[in-house]
Amino acid sequence: MAEKPAKDCPNCDEILPAGTVKCKNCGLNIHTGESYEMQVKKAKGAGSSQPPTTGRLGLTILAALGFVFLAGFLYQRGMIRTIQENPDLYQTYAERLETVDELLALGRKRDAGEAAQELKSELENQLDAIGEEDATQRRLLANLISKIDRRLEESEQ
Ligand SMILES: [Zn+2]
């Protein structure tokens, strides 16, 4: 009689037919010696290698956001300093912008448009007068001009 040589599972002593790779009883891999628990751990480990990558990506995004925030903060500070150095000038502009808003609120669109246009040309002259090196002041004036542009659009509606 040619019986197939059977082996006992080294883990649980289950009799395994020849050619068996995995024990039916405990899941032990006869070739690699890996138990079922080890295989599960390995599979989980492979799955959990993703989160650290995501974590690093999150950190990178956070760092980028932090940088943008800091840049915004410094930009704002530059603006504030420029305003502080030229208080009368910017207060005048701010007040005149408020006047435009009041006229718009009253429905006096034509007056608002005229006031806005006048303010805009003054700001543009100012922008021409200041040097290229004063980037913060240029941005501040450009910012005011874009605010006036929005009011001009409103007055034309
Ligand atoms: Zn077994």
Q: What is the pLDDT of residues 61-75, one digit of tens each?
A: 888 888 888 878 777
Domain boundaries, the chain: 7-47, 51-156
Tell me whether strands 15-16 and 7-8 are parallel, antiparallel or unpaired: antiparallel
Q: Cα(42) to centroid of ligand 1, in Å?
A: 19
Long-range contacts of 133-139 (CB under 8 A, 24+ apart): 136/78, 136/79, 136/81, 136/82, 137/82, 137/86, 139/75, 139/79
> Could you tell me which residue, 75 or 151, shows the higher pLDDT?
151
pLDDT for 50 equals: 54
Residues within 5 Å of ion ligand 1, judged at the Cβ atom: 9, 11-12, 14, 23, 25-26, 28
pLDDT for 153 equals: 92
Q: What ranges in 3-134 are assigned the alpha helix state H?
A: 36-47, 50-85, 87-105, 109-129
Q: What is the pLDDT of residues 27-63, one digit of tens each?
A: 888 888 888 777 777 777 765 555 556 677 878 888 8
Provide the token pair at 93. Answer: 């502009």
pTM of the model: 0.50
∠ Cα 136 137 140 (to 5°):
90
Q: Cα(18) to centroid of ligand 1, in Å?
A: 14
Name the 3-class secondary structure at 154.
helix
